[in-house]
Structure formats: C-alpha cells, structure tokens
Amino acid sequence: MSSDKNHHSSDAFTNSSRIHILPIDITESNASVNLCQKIIQEVASLDGVVHNAGITDDKTLAKMSPLQWQAVMDTNLSAMVNLTQQMLNQSVFSDQARVVCISSIAGISGNFGQSNYAASKAGVIGFGKSLASVFALGHKRINVVAPGFIESTMTQKFLLLLREAGRRMNAMNQKRTCHRCC
C-alpha cells in the first residue's frame, strides 16, 4: 500500500471517530514539545496513547557500532520516555487516560544478534512498571504489551531461519497458553 493510500485511509478513520493519528519522527530533538503543543491546540487532552515506534538494526554486540546501538535505543526507548515525560509535564493526559507501550518478547527472553533491540524493549517493560503507580494516583493506566513474532515489513528483513524460528516459537506459546487456560 502506498503512503498516499495510508494517509487517506487514516484521514477517513480519524474523521469518523475521536481518534487522532499524529505521525511524527519521534527521534527529532523537538518532537515531544511540538507534539504536545499540537495536542493542546487541537484536542486539549488525550484519553489514550499507543507508543508503538520500533526499529531493529541487528548485529552481534561485538560487531555492532555505537551508532547502531544508539539509533535503536533512541527510537524504541528514549523517544517514548521523552514524549511521556513531556505529556506529563504539560498535563496532556486526561484523568482517565490509558497508555499502551509496545514491547516485544525479545525484551523478556532476548534474541541472538538483537542485544540493542532486546535491551530497548526490556527498558519499555521497566518504564511501564515504574510509571504504573504514578499513573494510578490519577486513575490513569499504563500497560505494556510484549507480543511474539509478528509478520511485518520490519521482520521481512530478518534471515529466513530467524523468521521461521519466530513463527514456531509463537505457535508453541499459543498452544501452551491455550492448554493452561482450558
């Protein structure tokens, strides 16, 4: 699907609901300030936020450059922290706001060649846990979701062997989860 089609479909979606999609480059230095200003101007407060930005730049730690490490940390963790902090400082969240942070199973179990990605996603989990009690004081909620392998344009870049291993681990976990709850 072209970005033009995506843009039109998101416009149609936002015009028919109270959901506002605000695509931004969250790694830009003023992104959190600019976004909060836009939110205050357009909607006053937010009832929900989904932090779903994420990139990979896979290499073993021995072969990874500091720039590769930092790019993943900046996108997957630091930008989310900066944006949430700015939203709290600007009182952008409504009293009943819900925040969902997307982590990954890699943040729990790690993945070969993904030390930067796994560390950033583990940081998302810790961040959510740390803020949970703060959010609860004002009847807000923050949750972290750590899905398994998801077929996407990002994961299409993985080696076939890694993609297949991810698919199989998901299938095993689904069966085990079903067995536990049945």
Q: Across the strands, what pairs with 101?
A: 51, 144
Structure tokens of 124?
A: 């998302």
Distance, in Å, from the CA atom of 29 to the CA atom of 138, rounded to the nearest integer, reads: 29
Centre a 10 Å sphere on the Cβ of residue 151 and count the other Cβ atoms it contains: 11
Distance CA(49)–CA(149), nearest Å, equals 23
Tell me the backbone φ, ψ of residue 164, rounded to 5 degrees. -65, -40
Q: Say which of 69, 93, 117, 158 is annotated catalytic.
A: 117
Q: Element (H or E) spanning 131, and its range?
A: helix 115-137
Q: Would residue 20 show up in a list of annotated catalytic residues for this protein?
A: no
Residue 29 gets which letter from DSSP? T
Backbone angles phi, psi at 98, to 5 degrees: -125, 130
Q: Which two tokens stand for residue 10?
A: 């998101």
Q: Do the Cβ atoms of 77 and 120 come closer than 8 Å?
A: yes
Compute CA distances 65 → 53, 59, 114, whole Å.
Answer: 21, 9, 13
Q: What are the catalytic residues?
A: 117
